Amino acid sequence: MDEWMNYEQFDRQTWHSFFPTDKVRLTQDNLEAIKSLNDRISIQDVQDVYLPLIKLIQLRYQSFLEWQMQKANFLRQSVRRVPYIIGIAGSVAVGKSTIARLLSILLNKLLPDKRVELMTTDGFLYPNAELERRGIMDRKGFPESYDMEKLLKFLNDVKAGEPEVKAPTYSHQVYDVQLDKPQLIKEPDILIVEGINTLQLPTNQRLYVSDYFDISLYVDADPDLIEHWYLQRFGMLLDTAFTDPSNYYYPYSKGNRDEAFKMARDVWQKVDLPNLEEFILPTRNRANVILHKTTNHAVDRIFLRRD
């Protein structure tokens, strides 16, 4: 069955017409501050794509709050805070982090009385030492390299309303988990969870991570285009790493640049592309919304799940 049968498809102009506002309340400098290295985003992108998306999320959030109240009344219970969780999935280098940060800022502006938190699943990778011990360092990013049981417990604790939940963090500078620098998630009204694995089914688990999501987004693009962005970002990382010996990319920045790019292409072909094709892309049809990108990170099509 064609996976697109479950989606309504809109071009950018039509999507913008559903919420044709120009009240952005952001500047281009604001956008430059939140975008990833080689990502691109403009005020026009916010108007055309992300403000209608935020309006859609707001409508779903209002329905979620009403349902929580109706359910509590039916069960004759007091209404408790249940976090609304937004999941964002997609390939490496496709721009998930920029979109997650942008949604966080827009939701904070739209719902100033609500607590909005943002975290990434990168911190739930096993530390490099553990990956080495298991002999899967070359599989970093694949499903088996994540402590999915720990991630599921984290999401369960958040949904259960625990007053404070710790999420491990990840440093892209040292290319490893930072177990001594956890992120504290404190009773969020809305939690944005971003990562390549957010829609995947964990091995030997009955739950999807996405079972905890109230709405999920998938950021999509042609793999050849993603490879271009991946290599472009790699070059920018080399340009910024040469002054910091602790940076993972420092040795590559000091060595032969052609050899460094050959290594990066090998990583894409042997790790990131197979991971995308085998484990990330097959989860696309679990998303409520798919944002399809074309050249220059421009969203040209939006797919909305029919259910």
Reported as a single tens digit per residue, the pLDDT across 103-113 is 999 999 999 99
Average pLDDT for the chain: 92
* Helix or strand (DSSP H, E) at 11: strand 7-11
Kindly indicate the confidence band of residue 114, based on its pLDDT and cuts at 50, 70 and 90: very high
Amino acid at 260: A
Q: Greater confidence, 228 or 200? A: 228
Amino acid at 197: N
Q: Greater confidence, 90 or 204? A: 90
Q: Please name every residue paired with 119 in a beta bridge, in sequence order, or none if there are none.
A: 193
Statement: residue 171 has pLDDT above 80: yes
Statement: residue 1 has pLDDT above 60: no
Statement: residue 281 has pLDDT above 90: yes
Statement: residue 204 has pLDDT above 60: no
Statement: residue 244 has pLDDT above 90: no
- Rounded to an integer, the average pLDDT of 66-89 is 95
* Structure tokens that stand for 232 in this block: 């472009």
d(CA 266, CA 138): 11
- Rounded to an integer, the average pLDDT of 177-187 is 95
Query: What pLDDT does residue 205 have?
Result: 61
Kindly indicate the confidence band of residue 4, based on its pLDDT and cuts at 50, 70 and 90: confident
Kindly indicate the confidence band of residue 167, based on its pLDDT and cuts at 50, 70 and 90: very high
- Distances from the Cα of 29 to the Cαs of 25, 131, 236, 241, in angstroms? 12, 39, 20, 24
d(CA 302, CA 4): 12
- Rounded to an integer, the average pLDDT of 36-64 is 93
Query: What pLDDT does residue 77 have?
Result: 94
d(CA 147, CA 150): 5
Q: What are phi and psi of 27, to 5 degrees?
A: -110, 165
Nearest Cα neighbor of 307 from 189, 212, 216 is 216
Kindly indicate the confidence band of residue 203, based on its pLDDT and cuts at 50, 70 and 90: low
* Structure tokens that stand for 90 in this block: 């997609």
Kindly indicate the confidence band of residue 249, based on its pLDDT and cuts at 50, 70 and 90: confident
Q: Which of 139-153, 181-195, 243-257 has the lowest mean pLDDT?
A: 243-257
Query: What pLDDT does residue 125 have?
Result: 96
Kindly indicate the confidence band of residue 303, based on its pLDDT and cuts at 50, 70 and 90: very high
Statement: residue 202 has pLDDT above 80: no
Query: What pLDDT does residue 250 have?
Result: 84
Statement: residue 37 has pLDDT above 80: no
Kindly indicate the confidence band of residue 201, based on its pLDDT and cuts at 50, 70 and 90: low
Statement: residue 234 has pLDDT above 70: yes
Statement: residue 242 has pLDDT above 90: no
d(CA 98, CA 231): 18
Q: Which of 5-9, 29-33, 136-140, 191-195 has the lowest mean pLDDT?
A: 29-33
d(CA 125, CA 224): 26
- Distances from the Cα of 296 to the Cαs of 8, 40, 94, 225, 241, in angstroms? 24, 6, 11, 9, 24
Statement: residue 213 has pLDDT above 60: yes
% of residues, the chain, pLDDT over 70: 97
- Distances from the Cα of 247 to the Cαs of 9, 174, 228, 274, in angstroms? 42, 5, 23, 26
Query: What pLDDT does residue 36 have?
Result: 81
In this prediction the pTM is 0.94
